[in-house]
Amino acid sequence: MTAERPAPPEQSVVLALEAVDVWLSGRRILDSVSFELGTGEFVGLIGSNGAGKTTLLRVILGLQRPTSGRVLLGDEARSRGNRSIGYVPQKALLDPDVPLRARDLVGLGIDGDRFGMPRRSAKRAGAIEEMLHAVGAQHYADARVGELSGGEQQRVLIAHALISRPRLLLLDEPLANLDIRSGQEIIELLERIAKEQAVTVLLSAHEINPLLPVMNRIVYLAAGRVASGTTDEVVRPEVLSKLYGHHVDVLRVHGRILVVSGPGSGDEETLSASPALVVG
């Protein structure tokens, strides 16, 4: 079995999805998706490209209305523009020619949704400086964000998402364009933030292995359906076979997980081109 991060103590529910369906252009993208996230948990949202991960994040953010079902933040219905959720998108267009410094981008997380120039104050400047230090970005705070490396940009975007002190942080494929070392540093940073700030982290990825040391639980998405629990509870042949609708094998080799299926029905899909999580 996989060595897993210990589950956190019993915590209040930060997010709950109840039988969420999404139909787009006559196609069912999410199929009765239900799960809960607790305070301070680090949860991996795992699935292949096209599995519905981004749609699920849009539903949580209030950018996509479910066809049916409910999304609750705490014990209240989800409302669009709720500042208790921070979000780091998969792709942020950060032009090197735009004179926007890292500290300016972080500051937009405080007042970027308001009209006019931001009101300068010692309190605002202190909050920006504190968040830059929290993500280890203080050394390039005055550099243009478009000129930073991928890992440095991720740190700044995380600071931007966290400065409003959200209870829930959503990240859409933050490791996709990073090298192994930068990706590992971002994972370690997010784990520390989840612990220190009691922020619930939901990170989407198509590869499970980099997240194994830090995840409390996993939300595994395939064919629009979800299985949620610890890695050992979810990443099992009988669970994933039911999720995919055809037979799936789970191999564990040198602490890594490989998900594989043989030839099956036409609805088969490839999870990843990497050797870490493959169906096909």
pLDDT one-digit tens code per residue, 102-111: 999 999 988 6
Q: How far apart are CA 141 and CA 236, in angstroms?
A: 44
Considering the chain, what is the average pLDDT of its residues?
85
Q: How far apart are CA 205 and CA 274, in angstroms?
A: 12
Q: What is the pLDDT of residue 121?
A: 78
Q: What is the pLDDT of residue 266?
A: 38
Angle at 177 between CA 132 and CA 53, to 5 degrees: 95
DSSP H helix total and E strand total for the chain: 7, 12
Asked if residues 223 and 216 have their Cβ atoms less than 8 Å apart, the reply is: no
Burial of 56 (0-12, 13-18, 19+ CB in 10 A): buried
Q: What is the pLDDT of residue 36?
A: 96
CATH number of 1-84+166-231: 3.40.50.300
Output the pTM of the full model.
Answer: 0.85
Q: What is the pLDDT along the chain (280 residues), one digit of tens a residue?
A: 444 555 554 568 999 999 999 999 999 999 999 999 999 999 999 998 888 999 999 999 999 999 999 999 987 766 555 678 999 998 777 777 778 999 999 999 886 554 445 667 788 899 999 999 999 999 999 999 989 999 999 999 999 999 999 999 999 999 988 899 999 999 999 999 999 999 999 999 988 999 999 999 999 999 899 999 999 999 999 999 999 888 999 999 888 999 887 554 333 333 433 334 444 3
CATH 3.40.50.300 intervals, the chain:
1-84+166-231
